[in-house]
Amino acid sequence: MKPSPAASAPAGHGPASAPVDLLRRLRARGAGDPVTHVERVPARAGVPAPWPPWAPTELRAAFARRGVVAPWRHQAEAATLAYEGGHVVVATGTASGKSLAYQLPALATLLADPRATVLYLAPTKALAADQLRAVAELELDGVRPACYDGDTPRAEREWIRRHSRFVLTNPDMLHHGILPGHAQWSGFLRRLAYVVIDECHTYRGVFGSHVAHVLRRLRRQCARFGATPVFVLASATSGDPATAAGRLTGLPVTAVTEDASPRGGVTFALWEPPLLPPDSGSSSPVPPQATGDHDDLHQVRRSALRETADLLADTVSEGVRTLAFVRSRKGAEVVAANARRALDDAVPGLGDRVAAYRGGYLREERRELERALLHGDLLGLASTNALELGVDLVGLDAVLICGYPGTRASLWQQAGRAGRSGQEALAVLVARDDPLDTYLVHHPEAIFGAPVEATVLDPANPYVLTPQLACAAAEAPLTPADLALFGDGAKEAVDELVAAGALRQRPTGWYWRHRERPDVDLRGEGGAPVCVVESSTGRLLGTVDGGSSHFLLHPGAVYLHQGVSYVVDELDLADGCALVHAEEPDWSTHARDVTDLSVVSVRSYVDAGPVGMFLGEVDVTSQVVSYQRRRIATGEVIDTRPLDLPTRELRTVAVWFTLSPQSLTAAGVQTSDVPGALHAAEHAAIGLLPLMATCDRWDIGGLSTALHPDTEAPTVFVYDGHPGGAGFAERAYGTASAWLRATRDAIAECGCETGCPSCVQSPKCGNGNNPLSKPDAIRVLDVVLANLPT
């Protein structure tokens, strides 16, 4: 869905329609008007095209039985490019029918060649399961579609390898299962005609860089078996999709971007929760650690989670089928629990029609929730971005987005979940107490008048390239010809592996020396998932990624699952297991960490007199050292308890700026206030960087100091939270003036007096948001902007 700037309307003004009427009722239920802007995205008629002449009659008839009488123009264009052997990415809006663009050439080839095969990759199991349903419902003889992922019973895997001709999987299974077992898959790979990469815009940062090399490993194995498959990619609307798809696959890719599908109108509201009285800031029963909307002083605005929960209850009570997107797993649980409670208070039993949905649920739970929403048994679902992608949830009336999801591409993808049957729909972005959210709801042109971001990934990252080359060598010896496939830096990475004793060089190539395979985490999350197990029963409740386990599963942490609260008894990092017991404490937990940073090298810098702007490599050392327990009802700190968890080390890429002490003094920043000024500027800069790069604040970290030993000056660092970097710091360095200007404006325009979560306080601050100086942060950024070239 591409918004039209010309469609902008003042808040409260727009065409009379069911979504507008619903929005009017929602905004009238509280004191004051929380809506800062309403955007009308108009309906659009579709442009059909004739079936391509190569499409077999049997396939046309199968699509006709599903109600597809003809393709839209962009579907026919992309399908024909792929059928003729070209690699293609179709980058159009949500619900534009991208699946037909790859199903048509792939299935036509399977029907014409009884030996051909197709591999489909999706970033989530839910999307793969949805596509399996769609292909199976066509009832085409001989296709035999099947999902092959971590949930596939072992008894079925051999049959799939031997007999399925349309295998649906994900990059993790391709990496961990199919490519290491390529000998067992030789028949399938030898006949591979198409590789479909769905929702390819999700492959960004370190994860996208890893997937890029997994695809190169796939191309390498196919070539060994004599196959050269065509790659067909589907993406949400994004900036420069051809370049991003080419970087992902390593191949020249043609983009189809003109969306010819019909679309129902969308009323899109920006919603800012109301200010709370100073003495009631922590009165919300929403656990603060689940919201990201807390601080050690007071809650300035009503929690976005609480606001979303109330909106979800209101829409469900009106019979409006609603999907609420929440950024965290805990947040999704809290929104569902609070909405259920409110509905049951109004009509006993009505709360049963609301549920939570997130990653970490068992397969059976996920499938049942999808079925219940599709069939109307559920009216409201609070979900993480696990349901952002192409799962076909027909019939939704409204989408609530709890907090900006990090990119405009994701925002429009989530909003597009509503109105998928062509009807009018409502989308509401509920702002968190966060610098970026606050900036966006008061600068709607940054959402509706700006192009969608380009996907950022860096396959040359040595922390990605080196382990991926190790995986490739473990699958088959590397040859000099292979190095060109893996791109810049491959020879240096191979030499490093040889020096480390991982590879042995022989005249025929480089050989993997160990019996066990390399252990490589595609998602850069800091290790394998940690299982959450109930102590008394041994029941597996779910999983948490390794990178988050120190914060979410430390001993004493409160863990939520399906609205039930548990307390962690023990975290065994070696075995990847956390033991918990059911408990409903009246407190929440908040992990605290300490961080140290040293500069390794400088890649580039700008000398701007009293200001310096730098890009380079840094070493970051961090450790979770304690956690606070806080009363849920009041936010009161009960106590701080120590933790003994291992230190984590990270070499990554950072952007940083320095200022001379004299320039700060001249700007009116007293020496005693410099730490608080820099700290506040650091928090706000981290919060606003997602405006410039395809990341969110949890992808990046920061450090500020009045005198850093490596720079010998007051310094603010912002670094990528992934080994080797993910491209975010480079983007910040390249757009430094615009980035820091938006940061300065966000602080200055905030209505608070001394600083709040909407401007300079951070939910991830290891120092408890202390010290902070809002007015001095503005002065610091004024000095930087006055001297930094635009």
Would the pLDDT of 35 be above 90? yes
What confidence tier does 393 reach under pLDDT thresholds 50, 70, 90?
low
What confidence tier does 554 reach under pLDDT thresholds 50, 70, 90?
very high
Of 278 and 487, which is predicted with more confidence? 487
The CA-atom distances, in angstroms, between 163 and each of 117, 133, 156, 343, 432 are 10, 18, 11, 49, 50
Of 233 and 264, which is predicted with more confidence? 233
Residues in the chain: 790
The DSSP secondary-structure symbol of 286 reads: S
Measured CA to CA, the distance from residue 521 to residue 210 in angstroms comes to 9
> What are 318-336's pLDDT values in tens digits?
999 999 999 877 788 889 9
Closest C-alpha to 357, from 427, 417, 317, 271: 417
What confidence tier does 279 reach under pLDDT thresholds 50, 70, 90?
low
What confidence tier does 7 reach under pLDDT thresholds 50, 70, 90?
very low
Buried b (16+ CB within 10 A) or exposed e, 717-753: bbbbbbbbbbbbbbbbbebbeebbbbbbbbbeebebe
Structure tokens at 371: 């079925």
Would the pLDDT of 111 be above 70? yes
| Least confident span in 3-7, 335-339, 777-781 | 3-7
The CA-atom distances, in angstroms, between 498 and each of 180, 231, 476, 507 are 21, 33, 16, 14
For the chain, the C-alpha Rg in angstroms (whole number) is 26
**What does the DSSP assignment read for 558-607?**
EEEETTEEEEEEEEETTTTEEEEEE---SEEEEEEEEEEEEEEEEEEEEE
| Least confident span in 13-17, 22-26, 448-452, 619-623 | 13-17
What confidence tier does 102 reach under pLDDT thresholds 50, 70, 90?
very high
Query: Three-class SS of residue 507?
Result: coil
Amino acid residing at 369: L
Would the pLDDT of 78 be above 90? yes
Would the pLDDT of 205 be above 90? no
What confidence tier does 288 reach under pLDDT thresholds 50, 70, 90?
very low
Amino acid residing at 236: A
pLDDT, residue 402, reads 94
Would the pLDDT of 394 be above 70? no
Q: Give the whole-number percent of the chain exceeding pLDDT 90.
A: 55
H helix runs in 42-115, sequence order: 57-65, 73-83, 98-112
Buried b (16+ CB within 10 A) or exposed e, 292-302: bbbbebbbbbb
Would the pLDDT of 25 be above 70? yes
| Least confident span in 4-8, 360-364, 599-603, 780-784 | 4-8
| Least confident span in 207-216, 484-493, 514-523 | 514-523
Q: Give the whole-number percent of the chain exceeding pLDDT 70.
A: 89
* Range of 73-82, 117-126, 376-385, 458-467 with top mean pLDDT: 73-82
Would the pLDDT of 14 be above 50? no
Closest C-alpha to 267, from 73, 541, 65, 43: 43
Buried b (16+ CB within 10 A) or exposed e, 150-179: eebeeeeeeebbeebbbbbbbbbbbbbbbb
What confidence tier does 363 reach under pLDDT thresholds 50, 70, 90?
low
Would the pLDDT of 608 be above 80? yes
A 10 A CB-CB count for 341 gives 16
Would the pLDDT of 426 be above 80? yes
Amino acid residing at 738: A
Structure tokens at 217: 């490993």
Q: Answer whether 616's CB lies under 8 Å from 600's CB.
A: yes
Q: Answer whether 273's CB lies under 8 Å from 400's CB.
A: no
pLDDT, residue 281, reads 41
Task: Work out the average pLDDT over 638-665.
Answer: 93
Query: Three-class SS of residue 323?
Result: strand
pLDDT, residue 472, reads 97
Would the pLDDT of 781 be above 60? yes
pLDDT, residue 437, reads 87
> What are 494-547's pLDDT values in tens digits?
999 999 999 999 999 999 999 899 988 887 655 667 899 999 999 888 788 776
Would the pLDDT of 747 be above 70? yes
Q: Which single residue is written with the structure tokens 């930094």?
A: 788
Of 283 and 662, which is predicted with more confidence? 662
Would the pLDDT of 436 be above 90? no
Task: Work out the average pLDDT over 603-616.
Answer: 96
Q: Answer whether 358's CB lies under 8 Å from 386's CB.
A: yes
Would the pLDDT of 286 be above 60? no
pLDDT, residue 562, reads 62
Would the pLDDT of 650 be above 80? yes
> What are 235-274's pLDDT values in tens digits?
877 778 898 899 999 999 999 999 999 888 889 999 999 8
Would the pLDDT of 435 be above 90? no
Q: What's the mean pLDDT when you consider all of the chain?
A: 86
Beta partners for 718?
655, 702
Would the pLDDT of 48 be above 90? yes
Q: Answer whether 750's CB lies under 8 Å from 483's CB.
A: no
A 10 A CB-CB count for 274 gives 12
pLDDT, residue 502, reads 96
Would the pLDDT of 96 be above 60? yes
